[in-house]
C-alpha cells in the first residue's frame, strides 16, 4: 500500500508505528531546526543520534555523547538540511531533526522479499566494523551471517513483525538492526532493496540476481529458488578519508589480484569532488569478494582495500 511505503520513508512515522506495535526501536524525539539546541540538549538521553527523517546512506547522521556535542551536531545537521538539494528532496521534512537514543550492539542488514505478507530472508549481512559514531559510514557487508542460528531467527521474526505492522505485504525489504543482550532492535526499515551496486554480491538459485528476483515477483513469474548461492560473499563500500578533489588513485589491478576478490569498482572520477560523511552521500567505490567462508571474504576485502591508494587535494 502507498501509505505503508510512505511511512517507511519517514523515520519518525516509522518509529511511531513500530513503537505502537511493541517492536523494539530506539526511543526518539522530533524537533524543528528552529528550536534552540541549547535548550533541547537538556531534554535528551546520552549518548544520542541526530538524523534527518528522510535521507539515506547515513547522510546527516551524527552521534552526540554530551550537551556540547549535541549543540554542535544540531547546528551542523541544520546546515545540511538547508542546502538547496536537500530542501528540494525533503520538503517540509527538511525542517525536522530526529533525535534517537543510541542503541549499542552488533549491526546487521537483512534483505528480504515479502510474498502475501510472509517474509522470506534472502540474505543476512554481518557488518564486522563497529558503527559507534560519531558518524556512521558503512564499510563491509558479509553474508552468510556468523551470528548464532537463534539470533538470526529472532532478527527475521522481528523484521517480519515490523513489516506487518507497517502494512507492507509484497516486494523487497531492506532492514538494518542492532543486536545486543536485549535482542534485535530495528534501526532502519525500507520498502526497497539494498542500495547502490551492493546487490551485485548476491546470487540465487541458478544464478539469478536480486533484481531479477524482485522483477519476477512483481510480474508474478515463477521463481525457481530464493536460496542464496553456497559460497560466502561480501562487499566493501570504500570510505572517503577526507574532503577535497580526487586527483588520482592507484592499486586497482593489485586489489583485483587478491584471492577471493571478484571485482573492484571506482565510482568517482578523477578531478571530481569527494565529501565524507555526514555531509557526503557517495563512496569512492566498491570491492566485491567471494570465498568458501565469510571470514575469508572479510579478509580478502580488507587486503584489497589496503592495496588502494587515493590522492585527494584539499579544497582551496
Cis ω for the linkage preceding 44 (within 30 of 0): no
State residue 17's pLDDT score: 96
- In this predicted structure, the answer to whether residue 8 has a pLDDT above a threshold of 90 is no
State residue 316's pLDDT score: 81
Q: What is the mean pLDDT of residues 158-175?
A: 96
Distance CA 312, CA 150 (A): 45
Phi, psi dihedrals of residue 5, rounded to the nearest 5°: -70, -35
Q: How much of the chain, in percent, has pLDDT values that exceed 70? A: 100
Phi, psi dihedrals of residue 63, rounded to the nearest 5°: -90, 145
Q: Which of 132, 73, 69 is nearest to 104 (CA)?
A: 132
Strand-strand pairing, 261-266 and 285-291:
antiparallel
Q: How much of the chain, in percent, has pLDDT values that exceed 90? A: 92
Q: What is the mean pLDDT of residues 182-211?
A: 94
Structural domains of the chain in order of their starting residue, each with its CATH number: 27-101 (3.30.1490.20), 106-218 (3.30.470.20), 232-313 (3.90.1170.50)
- Provide the phi-psi class of 16: left if phi over 0, else alpha when psi is between -120 and 50, else beta: alpha
Q: What is the mean pLDDT of residues 39-64?
A: 95
State residue 3's pLDDT score: 78
Residue 102, C-alpha cell as written in the block = 543510541
Write out pLDDT tens, residues 58-111: 999 999 999 999 999 999 999 999 999 999 999 999 999 999 999 999 999 999
State residue 165's pLDDT score: 96
Amino acid at each position: 500500500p502507498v501509505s505503508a511505503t510512505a511511512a517507511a520513508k519517514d523515520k519518525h512515522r516509522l518509529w511511531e508505528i513500530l513503537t505502537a506495535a511493541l517492536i523494539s526501536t530506539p526511543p526518539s524525539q522530533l524537533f524543528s531546526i528552529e528550536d534552540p539546541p541549547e535548550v533541547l540538549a537538556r531534554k535528551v538521553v546520552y549518548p544520542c543520534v541526530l538524523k534527518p527523517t528522510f535521507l539515506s546512506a547515513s547522510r546527516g547522521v551524527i552521534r552526540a555523547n554530551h550537551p556540547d556535542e549535541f549543540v554542535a551536531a544540531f547546528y551542523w545537521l541544520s546546515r545540511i538540511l538547508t542546502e538547496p538539494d536537500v530542501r528540494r528532496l525533503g520538503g517540509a521534512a527538511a525542517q525536522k531533526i530526529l533525535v534517537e537514543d543510541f542503541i549499542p550492539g552488533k549491526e546487521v542488514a537483512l534483505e528480504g522479499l515479502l510474498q502475501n505478507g510472509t517474509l522470506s530472508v534472502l540474505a543476512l549481512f554481518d557488518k564486522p566494523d563497529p558503527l559507534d559514531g560519531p558518524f556512521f559510514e558503512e564499510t563491509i557487508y558479509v553474508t552468510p551471517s556468523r551470528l548464532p542460528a537463534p539470533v538470526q531467527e529472532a532478527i527475521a521474526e522481528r523484521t517480519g513483525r515490523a513489516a506487518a505492522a507497517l502494512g507492507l505485504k509484497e516486494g523487497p525489504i531492506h532492514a538494518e538492526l542492532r543486536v545486543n543482550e536485549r535482542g534485535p532492535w530495528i534501526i532502519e526499515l525500507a520498502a526497497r532493496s539494498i542500495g547502490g551496486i551492493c546487490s551485485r554480491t548476491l546470487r540465487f538459485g541458478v544464478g539469478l540476481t536480486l533484481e531479477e528476483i524482485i522483477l519476477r515477483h512483481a510480474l508474478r513469474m515463477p521463481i525457481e529458488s530464493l536460496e542464496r548461492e553456497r559460497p560466502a560473499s561480501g562487499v566493501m563500500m570504500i570510505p572517503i578519508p577526507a574532503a577535497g578533489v580526487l586527483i588520482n588513485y592507484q592499486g586497482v589491478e593489485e586489489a583485483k589480484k587478491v584471492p577471493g576478490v571478484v571485482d573492484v569498482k571506482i565510482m568517482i572520477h578523477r578531478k571530481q569532488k569527494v565529501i565524507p560523511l555526514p555531509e557526503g552521500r557517495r563512496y569512492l567505490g566498491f570491492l566485491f569478494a567471494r570465498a568458501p567462508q565469510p571470514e575469508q571474504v572479510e579478509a580478502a576485502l580488507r587486503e584489497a582495500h589496503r592495496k588502494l591508494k587515493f590522492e585527494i587535494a584539499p579544497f582551496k
